[in-house]
Chain A
Amino acid sequence: EVQLLESGGGLVQPGGSLRLSCAASGFTFSSYAMSWVRQAPGKGLEWVSTISGSGGTTYYADSVKGRFTISRDTSKNTLYLQMNSLRAEDTALYYCAKGRIAVVHAVDYWGQGTLVTVSS
């Protein structure tokens, strides 16, 4: 059974940093692209970033480019999102999501999300 468990969310001041983690199980982690998708309170879904199965290719939304870094550790079956220079508009529930294949594609499994609140 595929499981994705996010952690690392919390309250952070504007300009601060946070690192999100997503522990994956139930599938061959290195064979699938992984993504982060966020949802601000009461709002729609916003794609944030995707990393290929090999980890060699990464993609970012313009809204986070240069501030966020996606990475993966195959030895730990864990996906990460390093978030720097956080802004109030980054406040959202952050979902970890598994792609259907190793490169950019639809996502077929989602975690339950970890909440990030950026506020002074």
Chain B
Amino acid sequence: DIQMTQSPSTLSASVGDRVTITCRASQSISSWLAWYQQKPGKAPKLLIYKTSSLESGVPSRFSGSGSGTEFTLTISSLQPDDFATYYCQQYNSYSQTFGQGTKVEIK
């Protein structure tokens, strides 16, 4: 199975900061990677699919990049609504996998 490793596990940042989260795959997944945001007590929300395609309605401060085994989610200017946990997910193989999550906290 393909393993997905996110870093960091926790990130402390301030409103207005540029934030980058990394997701590494144990083998190449081409561009088949998505990013989700989850807030406490809520279902996850799709932010980005196929590495860099922004889901409809998602603010343009979110962006994704990468290919192969290394991917990043960038929030260009952190907003109060962005404090949440973020997950990457690979869907390259028949067995999909999520990363362990990155919690973005208020500094």
Contact = CB atoms under 8 A, between A and B. Distances in A.
A44 B44 contact: no
A44 B98 contact: yes
Contacts of A80: none
Nearest to B1: A62
Interface residues of B, number: 22
Interface stretch (B17-25, B76-84, B89-97): B89-97
A108 interface: yes
B50 A113 contact: no
Interface stretch (A8-16, A45-53, A66-74, A82-90): A45-53
A45 B94 contact: no
- Mostly helix, strand, loop or mixed at chain B's interface? loop
Interface string B65-107: 0000000000000000000000101010011111111000000
Contact of B98 (A46, A59, A110): A46
Contacts of B89: 45, 47, 106
A110 B44 contact: yes
A19 interface: no
B46 A108 contact: yes
Contacts of A106: 34, 46, 49-50, 89, 91
Contacts of B55: 108
B94 A111 contact: no
Given A104-B94, A106-B91, A110-B44, A45 B49 contact: no
6 contacts: A45-B44, A45-B98, A47-B95, A61-B95, A106-B50, A106-B89
Interface of B: 1, 34, 36, 38, 43-46, 49-50, 55, 87, 89, 91, 94-101
